[in-house]
Structures are given as structure tokens and as C-alpha cells.
Amino acid sequence: MLEVEELSVGYLGDDVVHGVTLTVAPGEAVAVIGSNGAGKTTLFRGICGLLTASHGRVTFDGEDVSGQPAHKISRRGLAFVPAERHLFPGMTVKENLALGAYPGRPDPATMDFVLSLFPQLADRLSQHAGTMSGGEQQMVAVGRALVSRPRLLLLDEPTTGLAPKLAKAAYEALATLRSEGLTLLLAEQQVPLALDLTDRGYVLENGRVQLESSSEELRRNPEVRRAYLGIT
Amino acid sequence: MTAVVLDGIVLGLQFGLLGVGLTLVYGLGGVLNLAHGQLAVLGAIAVWLAIGTGLPVLPAVVVGLAAIGLLGFLLDTTLMRPVYARRGDERVLLGLLLTLGVAFIIDGLLNWRYPIASLNISIGGDPISILGVRMRTGSLLASTIAIAAAGLLLLFFRGTTLGRGVRSVIQDEEGARLVGINPASVRNLIFALSAVLAGLVAVTRSMTSPVSASAGIDFTILALIVAVVGGLGSILGAFVAGILLGIVNTVSSFYIGQYITTIVLLAAAALTILLRPSGLLGRRK
């Protein structure tokens, strides 16, 4: 579904990500793990078109989308939930969710599904997104992405700024989406949560893929355990 | 007193329409359009020219406003492109310089070709009494148009998907791109709309007093005051500020004198900025 080949991308001519190759098959959940500054966010911004890659290719659903602007890639069915969420603070939760379906109107069944996934939002539809807590904003951000009915959901650090309990709840919601058949690619520093959810994982260090394996093997890998799972 | 305040509200709605275009263009792309008033006057002169060819008033207004809207669209797609390609202070500065240049060019062209042109649409009929106040038909028509335009605008921004899309770009451009909105085409549309609204205000003003070819700078200053007092980027703020300043304007010109009104307006703006730096309804960063 997604093939990233030798992608190099960065800011103002300085590449942060160097020649990364990764694939995501339909129905798969894939994790990109790595420490802060490893290039996960830059890689994701390059995939979804917010940054223009200096080298390499991104193919989504068999079509070369390299160099296309973010709004076009989004309309093709690749939804990106950034770590900073980028909600519309002066608009209500309902308006934020509905804009996911831009330029169309949201599909009622999809809206119902989002509200069943995040029941807290149902009572808050008329609250302004800017006044919500971090956990609730994360729900709105994921909800807004789902309303676009994506075929691939990219999540950058979905647990940023969340207390451990809320982080766990966020991953339970993601597990539900997985079981519904949605294809997921996520970047995460909370490595245990990410590896429990996903089928496969890539370890990113200094903008390069250091390791690529099934999530189960990564959990057993001594280096991963030492570097990311806090186990010696 | 009621008459003065009512006059102020009528004037204020037009101030709001003038300010809202400036505030939207700034909110979307960081460009403070210093040629806003010149576009308004150019719209009025386009209407005047259309009337001169023998067209009846209403079609002439439609033609004039369409022409100014097209010019706005063209300016945004050509001259403004290098501005939007830059970030931060550089973008704001380049935007100011380029639009100031456009203002000088429009002023110069008008002064050269039509130095004595002025649009003065006279609406006949007897004065009509509203709330015990006798209003001239021209002023009544101007206010009806202003109210209708303001209502349509608010409906557009609150009630339509495209309108919400425009607001989303103002609030978070990256978020807007992620939901599939192209900020560049939203900016094109709004720059054109902003020029049409500016032209419309010049047309409604011409129903009560003549709008001359040299009035551009006055309109620009007025639009700046309204947008800054309302909070740059705030649609509702522009209307609230417009109405408040409209009342300040008529009250001060009635009780103090016309010559001092601009000073009073500027003082009101300065006071607002001192008390609320982000404007009446502007969002604090």
C-alpha cells in the first residue's frame, strides 16, 4: 500500500532523513521507533507531502506521490496525525471533525464510529478545540483523520504529552482501528506500546534505518531492549 | 442622539465590510494589503466608467465589482506569489512593500487618467422614517446592502464547508493542508473577495457622498484601523470594531467637528491596542 524508497528529506537543504526505505502492506500495522531527534517526524512529514524530499520516491496505492503537496496526498486517502495535532482551536469539536471530510460533508456512519471510539467527544461536540486537554485534543485529531475515511493512517507520536493511563487508552483505540482493518504506520518513543500493537517495526537512528524486523523479534532483540525498553 | 448613533451603525457596517477583507487577507497569508483602499476606489471608478458607457446603475455596479474582483485575483496569483513563498518577518515586510507599490501605482494611474472623476450614485425618493428617525433613501439603501452583505459573509464563514475551510487556514494552515485544503487557492479566492467587498463599500459610500479618485488612502487607513482594533484575522472582530468606530465617528463629527474625526478614530484605535494588544476579538498567541 505504501512504498518508500531511498527517501532523503530535511529542512532548508539539510537532510535529516537519509535514504530510508520502508513498506506497509494493506491491513498491516507498522511502527517506526527511535529516540528523540532520530528523524521520525521528518520522515513522516516527507511521506505525507508537508516536506519535499530531496531524493527518493513515495508510492501510495501504486501511484507515485513524490513531490505532491500535502492536500493532494491527503485527498488520496493518506491521513496524517501530527504530534502537535494541528487542530483548529477556534472551532468546535464538531467543526474540526467535519473538516476531515473536506470538501465534502462527513459521512454520518463514520461520524458515529468516531464518537463510539471516543465517547468523551460525544458530549463535547460544541466545545472549542483550543480549550480541551491534551488527551481530548488527540482524540479530535485522530477523529478528524478518520472522518476523511483514509486507507492509510500515519500517526506521529500519538502519546505525546499524555499521562501513562491516557497513552494506554489511546493505544486501545488504535487496536480497535486495527481490528477494523485500517492500515497503520506510526512513529513512537513509547516503544513497548508500539511494539505490542504492530506487526513489524523499523528502528530509526540518525535518520537511517538501523534495524527492520517483526515487532515480536524487536521486542526480544537485546539492543532494542537496552536502548528503548529500559531493560538491561 | 438616536439619529447620530443610527447613522454611526450604518457607517460602521460599511467600515466592517471594508476591514473584514483586510483582516482576512492578513489572517490567511500575513499580507497587510496597503492597497486595500485604492482597490476600493478603483472599483468605484470602474463603476463610474461603466455608467459612462451608458449602462444602468445596477449592471454598472456588477461589472465594476467583477472587474475589481478579477484584478484582486490576478494580483494574488502574480505579484503576491513571491510573498507567500517567504516566511515570517520577511513575508510581512515584502507584502507591505509590494502592496504599497500597488497603492502608489493605482493612485498615480487614477490621478493621471481620471483626476476629477468621482462616483456619486444618487438614489431618489423621499426620506423614510425608522425608529422615529428620518433617513435619506440613499443612506437606507446603503445600510440595507451593508447589512445583507455582512449577513451573507457570516453565513458563508459559519455555515458552509468552504467558509469553514477558509477559517481553518487562518487558524492552522498545516492542519488545513492535512485535511486536503489548498491554502493557495483559498488565498486567491479571499483576495478577490476582499477586493470586491472594498469596491462594494466604495459604492455604498457613494450613495450618501461622492467618492473621488483620490480617496484611496483614506479608505486604506480606515480599513487598517478597523482591522487592527477588531483583531487581525478575526472576522467578527472586524464587524464589532467597524460598528463601534462608526458610532465614534458620527458622534465625534456631530459634537466636535468633522476635521477632528480622524484623530478621534486613531485615538480610539491606539487606546484599544494599549488595553488589548491583540485587538477586540483577536486571539492571543
Asked if the model's pLDDT at residue A222 lies above 90, the reply is: no
**How many independent structural domains does chain A possess?**
2
Domain of residue B216: give its range.
2-275
Residues A154, A73 share a domain: yes
**Chain A residues touching B182 at Cβ < 8 A:** 69, 71
| Strand bridging mode A55-60 / A2-11 | antiparallel
Q: Does A95 sit within 8 Å of B164, measured CB to CB?
A: yes
Closest CA to B236 of B282, B201, B192, B277: B282
DSSP annotation of B15 reads: H
Residues A123, A108 share a domain: yes
Look up the CATH number of the domain holding residue A164: 3.40.50.300
Last residue of a domain, one of A120, A148, A176: A148
Residues A118, A96 share a domain: yes
Residues A168, A62 share a domain: yes
Which of B179, B189, B236 best probes binding to A when mutated, by most A CB atoms within 10 angstroms? Answer: B179
Give domain status of residue A177, yes or no.
yes
**What is the CB neighbour count within 10 angstroms for residue B160?**
11
Bridge partners, residue B135, by sequence: B128
Residues A156, A136 share a domain: no
CA distance B157 to chain A (A): 11
Nearest to B178 among A86, A98, A103 (CB): A86
| pLDDT value of residue A6 | 95
DSSP symbols for B57-92? HHHHHHHHHHHHHHHHHHHHHTTTHHHHTS-HHHHH
Residues A67, A154 share a domain: yes
| pLDDT value of residue B261 | 83
| pLDDT value of residue B125 | 74
| pLDDT value of residue B5 | 87
| pLDDT value of residue A204 | 94
Our CA dihedral for B224, B227, B231, B232, rounded to 10 degrees, sits at: -80
Residues A104, A208 share a domain: no
Give domain status of residue B284, yes or no.
no
For A183, the 3-state DSSP assignment is strand
Give A132-162 pLDDT, tens digit per residue.
Answer: 998 899 999 999 999 999 999 999 999 988 8
Question: What ipTM did this prediction achieve?
Answer: 0.92
A47 close to A114: Cβ distance less than 8 angstroms: no
| pLDDT value of residue B206 | 93
CA distance A71 to chain B (A): 4
Residues A7, A73 share a domain: yes
**What is the CB neighbour count within 10 angstroms for residue A168?**
13
Last residue of a domain, one of A148, A165, A189: A148
| pLDDT value of residue B285 | 45
Give A34-45 pLDDT, tens digit per residue.
Answer: 988 899 999 999
Give domain status of residue A162, yes or no.
yes
Q: State the burial class of residue A232 (Cβ atoms within 10 Å of its Cβ: 0-12, 13-18, 19+).
A: exposed
* Run of H or E residues at A24: strand A14-24
For residues A194-216, give the mean pLDDT: 94
Which of B158, B161, B178 best probes binding to A when mutated, by most A CB atoms within 10 angstroms? Answer: B178
Residues A159, A144 share a domain: no
Look up the CATH number of the domain holding residue B35: 1.10.3470
Residues A193, A214 share a domain: yes
* Run of H or E residues at B47: helix B36-52
Give domain status of residue B176, yes or no.
yes
Range 39-78 of A in CB contact (< 8 A) with B: 48-50, 69-72, 74-75
Interface of B with A (CB under 8 A): 161-162, 164-165, 167-168, 171-172, 174-183, 283
Nearest chain A residue (CA) to B282 = A90
CA distance A195 to chain B (A): 26
Give domain status of residue A141, yes or no.
yes
Give domain status of residue A98, yes or no.
yes
Domain of residue A213: give its range.
2-77+150-228
Residues A67, A164 share a domain: yes
3-state helix, strand, coil in chain A (%, to 5): 40, 30, 35
**How many independent structural domains does chain B possess?**
1
Asked if the model's pLDDT at residue A178 lies above 80, the reply is: yes
Residues A143, A154 share a domain: no
Average pLDDT across each block of 10 residues of chain B; the chain has 285 residues. List them in order. 84 93 93 96 96 94 97 96 91 95 96 90 78 78 91 93 95 95 96 97 92 94 93 90 92 85 86 86 64
Give domain status of residue A82, yes or no.
no
Give domain status of residue B282, yes or no.
no
